[in-house]
């Protein structure tokens, strides 16, 4: 078949079936988004994220082109358009429904939520076009025309729901009112309404996670909040085991993911609670309509097994059916996977990272884009499932650090550990903490690797230190924005340049042995081809040597090392912008984000003094206490005072 013949065939196909193919493409895109949209919170594969990104963008393009073609459908007799024209008109409201996107993905990125107002104009124009198409294709004698109205209403609901979901995330009219301030007083009564039965434990956990999220609103930077309220028995998780505390954090972050990227919050509002009934009109039409109906039914079914459903059903405990279904649904929700539950791992002493060369064609392409080192790090990094012992280690060390932090912003990255163990006089330890953060991470990582090889054991502190060490280097190498570092690439490359000649001349065991000896001297570090102020005067190997020698003299070295790593992780988590935490939620999630949320509940970011009469006590916390507490902590404010959001 010649090229001209192929082109001619494609043209004929486009003229005859172009509209149907475009509608099929939009339905296919929406099916992909419905299936994968909510799964991206725990899927880390680049191919999956690329597929979601492509379908998210292409859906609106396909729908717009299809609507454009529908506006110029040929109608020989306007009074009697014909059965085929009426069927084509039926596709217009169907396309409007597709433009409402799947319930599991309203926004691909955080930035999309800023475009809510712009999308109102786009949807308004689209609705006008759809109305024009329906008017042109209307045939009063055809029963198919009777489907125009219900499908059009369904399309309006889906489209308005999408715009509403975008606009509600960072609504500039959001403000803190007196009602918001005193709302917490009723939370205790909600929990007391549950029967005293262990089968409702999962339900209470989901509900508690929701109230903790709703109180903190971590995606809003300037939302009024004080950790005093979370200290109440019915809101606190201080007594929870580490696994359960991390599960609560997972659920909170899942609520945050839903608010930022899905329609879940508005789907459970009063307006939308019966919207799915309209979809019943679609079940008797053709293949494309059947596909859309199946998709909507799938999404409606999934809503019943969401955290939001458990929260909303918990408000109606007087209904016998709710009391029967709630424990089952809550147990199912608690078993759901809400993030990848893994940590990235990268080892600076990996010889492949230091010496492995790409083949010439690949190296040429990577050099062209100056991405050779970045791609090498992506290629060599791995992921490891988070063991329960690591969660326990992190939570326990955070509790110890909290004794010195006292709800203040997290500003230290090792000093509190040195004070706790009384080892500040150790010069190697002190110097490794006082240097710049990226240097400190590298020095501690190399020292941890050396001690793990020489004196590693099977303790939780040792295994946890190794995991956190490789995780922090992974963040430094591939996610430096989460560490709030702008010079990470330069510092990391300099450290690799210092390690390459040292490791090239000896095997790893010999190199590690030399770095642990006090009488071993090292030559001046190898400078980069273009020395910078960032790396000037930094002697990597001698600094590592001093730190290793100090740590080897301590019997509790692994407790100290693990505490240092947890403190560094907390410091990085606190400094990281909310935007970056939110961005990682749609790419599998990060351990550092869970630590950030745990810290957020324990941080008084306004540095306000808690009045003595409001300190935690056994006295019941009344509605009046709640309102006066906010006034004493934050001062009397106009109930309509607005706060700039993120």
Q: Residue 615: what pLDDT?
A: 47
Q: Residue 342: what pLDDT?
A: 93
Write the DSSP symbol of residue 198: G
**Helix (H, G, I), strand (E, B), or coil: what is residue 343?**
strand
Q: Which long-range contacts (CB under 8 A, 24 or more apart) does 620-623 make?
A: 621/184, 621/185, 621/188, 621/232, 622/185, 623/182, 623/185, 623/186
**Three-state secondary structure of 459-481:** CHHHHHHHHHHHHHHHHHHHCHH
Could you tell me where the DSSP H helices lie in 314-459? 320-335, 351-355, 360-369, 372-380, 388-405, 415-421, 427-434, 437-455
With cut-offs at 50, 70 and 90, classify the pLDDT of residue 577.
very high
CA distance 558 to 564: 10
Q: Which of 65-69, 567-571, 603-607, 608-612 has the lowest mean pLDDT?
A: 608-612
CA distance 498 to 523: 10
Contacts of residue 488, Cβ cutoff 8 Å, sequence gap at least 6: 438, 476, 477, 480
Is 303:331 a contact under the CB 8 Å cutoff?
A: no
Q: Which of 79-83, 358-362, 529-533 has the lowest mean pLDDT?
A: 529-533
Place of tokens 């790593």: 565
Is 157:278 a contact under the CB 8 Å cutoff?
A: yes
pLDDT digit string, tens, across residues 451-471: 998 888 889 999 999 999 999
CA dihedral defined by 8, 11, 17, 22, rounded to 10 degrees? 140
CA distance 96 to 582: 29
Question: What integer is the mean pLDDT of 564-586?
Answer: 93
Whole-model pTM? 0.73
CA distance 315 to 211: 13
pLDDT digit string, tens, across residues 96-149: 888 888 878 888 888 888 787 788 888 889 899 999 988 888 876 777 777 788
Q: CA 360 → CA 356, 364, 365, distances in Å?
A: 12, 6, 9
pLDDT digit string, tens, across residues 426-451: 888 888 999 999 999 999 999 999 99
CA distance 332 to 380: 36
């Amino acid at each position: 078949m010649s090229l001209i013949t192929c082109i001619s065939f494609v043209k004929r196909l486009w003229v005859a079936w172009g509209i149907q193919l475009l509608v099929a493409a939009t339905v296919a895109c929406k099916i992909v988004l419905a299936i994968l949209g909510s799964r991206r919170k725990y899927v880390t594969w680049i191919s999956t994220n690329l597929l979601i990104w492509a379908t998210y963008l292409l859906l609106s393009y396909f729908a717009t082109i299809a609507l454009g073609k529908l506006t110029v459908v040929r109608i020989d007799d306007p009074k009697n358009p014909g059965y085929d024209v009426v069927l084509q008109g039926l596709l217009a409201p169907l396309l409007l429904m597709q433009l409402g996107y799947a319930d599991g993905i309203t926004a691909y990125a955080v930035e999309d939520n800023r475009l809510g107002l712009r999308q109102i104009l786009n949807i308004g124009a689209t609705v006008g076009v759809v109305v024009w198409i329906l008017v042109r294709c209307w045939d009063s004698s055809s029963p198919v025309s009777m489907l125009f109205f219900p499908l059009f209403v369904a399309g309006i609901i889906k489209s308005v729901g999408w715009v509403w979901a975008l606009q509600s995330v960072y609504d500039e009219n959001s403000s803190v009112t007196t009602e918001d301030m005193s709302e917490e007083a009723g939370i205790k009564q909600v929990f007391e309404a549950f029967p005293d039965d262990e089968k409702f434990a999962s339900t209470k956990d989901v509900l508690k996670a929701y109230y903790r999220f709703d109180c903190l609103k971590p995606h809003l930077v300037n939302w009024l909040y004080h950790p005093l309220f979370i200290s109440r028995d019915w809101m606190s998780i201080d007594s929870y085991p580490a696994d359960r505390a991390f599960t609560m954090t997972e659920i909170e972050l899942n609520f945050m993911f839903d608010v930022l990227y899905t329609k879940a919050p508005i789907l459970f509002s009063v307006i939308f609670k019966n919207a799915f009934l309209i979809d019943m009109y679609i079940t008797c039409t053709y293949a494309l309509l059947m596909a859309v109906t199946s998709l909507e039914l799938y999404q409606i079914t999934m809503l019943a097994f969401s955290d939001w459903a458990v929260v909303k059903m918990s408000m109606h405990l007087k209904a016998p059916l709710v009391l029967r279904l709630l424990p089952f649904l809550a147990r199912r929700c608690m078993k759901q996977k809400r993030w990848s539950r893994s940590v990235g791992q990268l080892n600076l002493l990996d010889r492949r990272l230091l010496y492995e060369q790409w083949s010439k064609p690949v190296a040429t392409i990577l050099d062209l884009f100056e991405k050779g080192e970045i791609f090498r790090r992506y290629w060599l990094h791995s992921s490891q499932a988070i063991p329960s012992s690591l969660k326990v280690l992190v939570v326990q060390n955070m509790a110890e650090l909290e004794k010195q932090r006292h709800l203040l912003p997290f500003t230290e990255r090792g000093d509190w550990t040195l004070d706790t163990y009384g080892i500040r006089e150790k010069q190697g330890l002190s110097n490794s903490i006082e240097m710049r953060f990226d240097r400190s991470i590298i020095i501690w990582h190399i020292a941890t690797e050396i001690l793990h090889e020489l004196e590693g054991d099977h303790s939780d502190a040792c295994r946890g230190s190794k995991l956190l060490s490789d995780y922090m280097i992974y963040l430094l190498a591939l996610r430096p924005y989460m560490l709030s570092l702008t010079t990470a690439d330069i510092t990391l490359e300099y450290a690799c340049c210092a390690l390459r000649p040292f490791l090239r001349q000896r095997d790893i065991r010999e190199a590690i042995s030399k770095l642990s000896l006090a009488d071993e001297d090292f030559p001046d570090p190898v400078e980069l081809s273009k020395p910078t102020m960032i790396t000037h005067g930094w002697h990597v190997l001698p600094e590592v040597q001093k730190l290793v020698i100090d740590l080897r003299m301590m019997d509790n070295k692994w407790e100290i090392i693990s505490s240092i790593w947890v403190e560094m992780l907390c410091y990085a988590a606190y400094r990281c912008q909310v935007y970056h935490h939110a961005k990682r939620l749609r790419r599998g999630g990060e351990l550092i984000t869970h630590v950030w949320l745990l810290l957020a509940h324990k941080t008084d970011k306004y540095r306000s003094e808690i009045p003595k009469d409001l300190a935690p006590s056994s006295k019941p916390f009344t509605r009046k206490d709640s309102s006066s507490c906010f006034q004493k902590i934050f001062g009397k404010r106009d109930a309509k005072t607005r706060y700039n959001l993120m």
